[in-house]
Amino acid sequence: MRPVLIALCTLAVAIGVTGSNEGPARWDTGILWPGNAAEEPGGPARQETAARVEVRAAIAAARELRLDDFIAEWKAKVAAEPDSALARFALAYAYLIHESPDYIKASAAAGGLWNNIDTAIRLLDKAIEIDPSLGQARLVLGYVYAQFSPNPVKAIAVLGELLKREPGNAEAMYWMAKAYGWDTPDERFKHEHCYHPLKRIQWLESAKAICPNWLRVRRALGTAYWAQGWDRTARKWHLDEPWKTKAVAEYRAVLELARQQRDASLVERVSRRLAELGAG
């Protein structure tokens, strides 16, 4: 069995399902779905493309719990237009959301987890073959390998090719950093991983240079600095330099952005982290 449980649990916790006695369950993203970074405050500049339109449409369909209809529509289009890269991309994207744990829980969707992941990968591969310039397909495929069904070696190859074509793609840099942040204790899958925390930091710094007010990237970078600097000595944890100074600066930037966005929960968490670092 592939080591997908960590990613699965991450998705289930981070995305969240809002369902209560006050109304019906609904799907809510809560995390970054690939190709949607422009919707986040401070995220990459919006570039309106046909693929980007379908990303928004798939997410809208998911929020209304009507992905089955969306999938049926695009299945018909793939059958009618087998050489359409866009049709394959849209269908693959819908499959990915449909197979996420939160959507299954919110919609009571039939079928088990990961049933259509391999299909989505094949659709994306074919979309890229048909139209090598379809950057969104490479981005989503890189995301699949970096986050959804981890194979960081493949993620880095796919995203690396995208960044050759689009060197300023900050979202691709973010997913590249994710890929370098994966590790596994299972020796059977070590060949699929390339854990490299310094490269993770470098890619996050590159994304930050392009989008300095993108809260998600700034927060990830602070965490990466923090993780890199931890060293256990004398029965206590302390943060080595230069990582402590870098982490403090990054968390202060995150704190200011969180205040601007009125995210009280994040303000509280980051303030606590700064206090732990003696910089409260």
Per-position pLDDT tens, the chain of length 280: 344 433 433 333 333 333 333 444 556 656 778 998 998 999 998 888 999 999 999 999 998 889 999 999 999 999 999 999 999 999 999 999 988 877 877 777 554 545 688 899 999 999 999 999 999 999 999 999 988 777 889 999 999 999 999 999 999 999 999 999 876 656 665 565 677 899 999 999 999 999 999 999 999 999 999 988 876 665 556 788 999 999 999 999 999 999 999 999 999 999 999 998 888 7
pLDDT at 182: 74
How many other C-beta atoms lie within 10 A of the C-beta of residue 116? 18
pLDDT at 141: 97
How many other C-beta atoms lie within 10 A of the C-beta of residue 235? 5
pLDDT at 49: 93
Is residue 240 within 8 Å of 231, Cβ to Cβ? yes
pLDDT at 114: 55
| Among candidate residues 129, 143, 112, the one with its CA nearest the CA of residue 10 | 143
pLDDT at 30: 64
pLDDT at 17: 30
Is residue 67 within 8 Å of 96, Cβ to Cβ? no
Determine the residue type at 60.
Answer: A
pLDDT at 18: 32
pLDDT at 236: 56
Which CATH number is 5-211's, of 3.40.366.10, 1.25.40.10, 3.20.20.70, 1.10.8.60? 1.25.40.10
pLDDT at 239: 80
- The alpha-carbon radius of gyration of the chain (Å, integer) is 20
DSSP state of 147: I
| Among candidate residues 102, 103, 94, the one with its CA nearest the CA of residue 65 | 103
Domain ranges in the chain?
Answer: 5-211, 213-280
- Distance, in Å, from the CA atom of 172 to the CA atom of 207, rounded to the nearest integer, reads 9
DSSP state of 43: -
pLDDT at 278: 86
Measure Cα distances from 32 to 78, 97, 144, 147 in Å.
Answer: 26, 12, 12, 11
Is residue 117 within 8 Å of 95, Cβ to Cβ? yes
pLDDT at 237: 60
